[in-house]
Amino acid sequence: MTGPRFPDLIASLPATVPFVGPEELERAQGFAFRARLGANESVFGPSPRAVEAMRAADAEIWKYADPSHLALKTELAGRLGCGPANIVFGEGIDGLLGYLVRLLVSPGDAVVTSDGAYPTFNFHVSGFGGVLHKVPYRDDAEDIAALFARAAEVDAKIVYLANPDNPMGSCHPGQAIEEALPLLPEGCVLALDEAYIEFAPEGTAPVIAIDHPRVVRFRTFSKAYGMAGARVGYAFGDAPLIGAFDKIRNHFAMNRAAQAGALAALCDDAWLDEVRGKVSAARERIARIAADNGLSALPSATNFVAVDCGKDGPHARAVLQALARRGVFVRMPFVAPQDRCIRISAGTEADLDILAEALPEALAELREATD
């Protein structure tokens, strides 16, 4: 009896996943985390209006949702200054990035990203047989000029750029992206990941015409809107490119409750402002906790802070593991020299009280181990 006949491409891929979830880590260590500060979720939760809307929609969760997402698109189009035909929804930015790669990348096609940038994008490119070309960060930020130059060298189909950036939290002013766009080579699409844009300073979002044929922008309800588990992301750009997503996307990927919650969240500007204020306060407190322990926090335009542990990747990983033993879940960048940092998500006051207690204990443990 023969088993499944995997294509050569799939058989050649490593048996890895981009992220190990905190639940799996909890099972491995045998106890639950006291402070969940590694997933960049919004611990402040979604708008109460969104919660109410999702509960109401649950009564009809057995029905298929509107696959056109028209009500949500119409509200969002008014806010973005475009038409519904310029917007596509999907199962988070993760799902939409996969669709973009499927649309544009054939086996052997070049794709450019930063070394250490969001790994799920790389996961999709490898899965469709694309060839990744990576450019190092410059001063803990993605290097736009180097990304576009490499794209020209390798005739890339896609350049991936996150602004603000994950995992470092840095950002470029929108004007820098606008000025660099003429350097983007013909036939190449800029995938601009703006998952954290609601937390960024004014002027971070570039002003780009909606009908620019080589830019597609990605945003989400997972971060500032507090709906990570609902899996609601959207892309917007030139109508012909956005319309092509309909050829391949899962039209019923977003259920009724997710659609209703996203629409209610989008209309609750007061809650969004409140969350922004809480995130800003949390970033400031994380920076103070870091400084109190002789560490330095990098400037952040996101809902997390990269904290420089002062040495190298193995040392930062030891700090992360020592925090985990004390019930604090954080993550860290994967690539040097950024892996000298740990990445701490904005938390509640109670979460950060736990961090303030655990971090000096973790550092003391490591000092004792090396004495």
Let me know if residue 26 belongs to a domain: yes
Secondary structure element (H or E) that encloses residue 21, with its range: none
pLDDT > 80? residue 1: no
Between these two residues, 189 and 17, which has the higher pLDDT value? 189
Last-in-domain residue among 209, 237, 267: 267
242 with 319, same domain?
no
Q: 345 pairs with which residues across the strands?
A: 304
pLDDT at 14: 87
**Which one has a higher pLDDT value, 254 or 371?**
254
SS3 call for 20: coil
Average pLDDT, the chain: 96
DSSP assignment string, 166-213: TTT-----HHHHHHHGGGSPTT-EEEEE-TTGGGSPTT-S----TT-T
Same domain for 257 and 357, yes or no, is no
- Domain check: are 41 and 56 in the same one? no
Give the 3-state secondary structure of residue 225.
coil
Q: Is 1 a domain residue?
A: no
CATH code, domain with 347: 3.90.1150.10
Q: Residue 262 is inside which H or E element, if any? A: helix 256-266
Domain boundary among 244, 267, 290: 267
CA distance readout (Å), 171 to 21, 125, 168, 187: 26, 24, 9, 26
Do 24 and 116 belong together in one domain? no
CA separation for the pair 34, 150 (Å, rounded): 44
pLDDT band, very low/low/confident/very high, at 279 (cuts 50, 70, 90): very high
Closest CA to 140 of 288, 306, 289: 306
> Is 165 part of any domain?
yes
Q: Is residue 6 included in any domain, yes or no?
A: no
Is the Cα torsion angle 77, 80, 83, 85 positive or negative in sign?
negative
Asked whether the predicted pLDDT for residue 69 surpasses 80, the reply is yes
For residues 308 and 256, membership in a common domain is answered with no
* Contact status, residue 171 vs residue 200, Cβ threshold 8 Å: yes
Residues 62 and 173 in one domain: yes
* Per-residue pLDDT band at 20 (split at 50, 70, 90): confident
Task: Fill in the amino acid letter for 164.
Answer: P
Domain final residue, candidates 207, 239, 267: 267
CATH code assigned at 201: 3.40.640.10
Specify whether the CB–CB gap between 225 and 49 falls below 8 A: no
Q: Is residue 179 part of a domain?
A: yes
Please determine, for residue 18, whether its predicted confidence score (pLDDT) is greater than 80.
no
The DSSP annotation for 102-162 comes to: HHH--TT-EEEEETTS-HHHHHHHHHTT-EEEEE--BTTB--HHHHHHHHHHHT-SEEEEE
CB atoms within 10 A of CB 280: 14
What does the pLDDT read at residue 368? 87
User: Which helix H or strand E contains 304, and what residues bound it?
Assistant: strand 304-308
pTM for the model stands at 0.96
Measured distance CA(27)–CA(109) in Å, rounded: 40
Residue 174 lies in a domain: yes
Q: Do residues 199 and 336 share a domain?
A: no
pLDDT of residue 113: 98
Same domain, 26 and 154: no
Domain assignment of residue 4, yes or no: no
The C-alpha atoms of residue 358 and residue 363 are separated, in whole angstroms, by 9
Q: Looking at the structure, do residues 349 and 203 belong to the same domain, yes or no? A: no
Judgement on whether residues 194 and 94 belong to the same structural domain of the protein = yes
- Report the pLDDT value the prediction gives residue 220, as an integer from 0 to 100: 98
Residue 7 lies in a domain: no
Do both 260 and 283 map to the same domain? no
pLDDT for 15 equals: 83
Same domain, 327 and 277: yes
SS3 label, residue 280: helix
CA 235 to CA 205: how far, in whole Å? Answer: 14
**Quick one: which H or E segment has residue 273?**
helix 269-292
- Residue 2 has what pLDDT? 82
Q: Which domain holds residue 168?
A: 48-267
Q: Is 20 left (phi over 0), alpha (psi -120 to 50) or beta?
A: beta
Percent of the chain residues topping a pLDDT of 90 = 94
Cα–Cα dist 236/323, whole Å: 39
How many domains in the chain? 2
**Cβ partners under 8 Å of residue 30, min gap 6:** none
Rounded mean pLDDT of 114-132? 96
